[in-house]
Amino acid sequence: MSPDPGVAAWVARAPQVPREWFRHPSKLHGVGHTQRVHIHTQRLTELMDWSADDAGLALRAALLHDIGRLHDGWEPAHGARSAARARRLGLMDDLESSAAALVVFAVEHHSRSDRRAVTTLERLSTPPGDGADDTAGLDDADAADRLDIYRARRILWLLKDADALDRVRLPRWERADPSLLRYKESVDLLPFADELFKALRP
């Protein structure tokens, strides 16, 4: 059975993702997964009418979010490894430092709890001298000055939702819980996620 024409049109928009980017290329977290997360990110940023700048940063984060994985199991540090690998491969060299900081934050924290991300953002928003010492893995001392807290959380939440939408590839008990998705638009895309996975498998 051929996929719905709408889904086919989205599949045509899947990015080319070099297998060489991945430390641990796999069917579960490799090229196919990254392409689907990228497509979900495209759809969400369009549905929510995001600016081209913010959409571009969310899409970059979607491309890079799993490239540092060491295995397919539970690995909360893989976001930090992915951000570090993206830096080593020069995959953010074209971005200004403030834009790169937003991508790094999203990639690093997509594999961590929402609570930890919020705590980090609260620390980053604390004025210097008031105990702000967590720079979320960013390189220099003025990270808090360069990271737009509102945009950082918004991009991270969207990446987490896009990633969760592709949990349709997992056993039913591991799939996305609609009550835990951060945006209404993400919940609305759950049926599409199933169709996309059928159309764009590893």
Residues 9-65 pLDDT 10s: 999 999 999 999 999 989 999 999 999 999 999 999 999 999 999 999 999 999 999
The predicted model gives 127-137 an average pLDDT of: 51
Flag whether pLDDT at 136 surpasses 70. Answer: no
Identify the pLDDT of residue 5: 60
Q: Which residues contact 177 (CB under 8 A, 6 or more apart)?
A: none
Give the pLDDT band (50/70/90) at residue 201: confident
Identify the pLDDT of residue 3: 52
The 8-class DSSP code of residue 172 comes to G
143-186: per-residue pLDDT in tens?
545 579 999 999 999 999 999 999 999 888 889 999 999 999 99
Count the neighbouring beta carbons within 10 Å of the beta carbon of residue 85: 20
Flag whether pLDDT at 114 surpasses 60. Answer: yes
Of 46-60, 83-97, 120-134, the one with minimum mean pLDDT is 120-134
Identify the pLDDT of residue 147: 79
Q: What is the domain-level CATH number for residue 192? A: 1.10.3210
Residue among 43, 29, 69, 28 nearest 196 (CA): 43
The predicted model gives 69-77 an average pLDDT of: 95
Give the structural domain span for 119.
Answer: 5-199
CA distance 24 to 142: 33
Domains in the chain, number: 1
Identify the pLDDT of residue 168: 94
Flag whether pLDDT at 196 surpasses 70. Answer: yes
Identify the pLDDT of residue 129: 56
CA distance 42 to 172: 25
Cα–chain-centroid distance for residue 49?
A: 18
CA distance 132 to 44: 32
Q: Indicate whether this model's pTM tops 0.85.
A: yes
Residue among 39, 72, 62 nearest 199 (CA): 39
Helix, strand, coil percentages in the chain from 3-state DSSP, rounded to 5: 60, 0, 40
Identify the pLDDT of residue 124: 83
Counting residues of the chain whose pLDDT is more than 90, the rounded percentage is: 80
CA distance 157 to 25: 25
DSSP per residue, 38-101: HHHHHHHHHHTT--HHHHHHHHHHHHHTTTT-SSSS--TTHHHHHHHHHHHTTTTTTS-HHHHH
Give the pLDDT band (50/70/90) at residue 1: very low
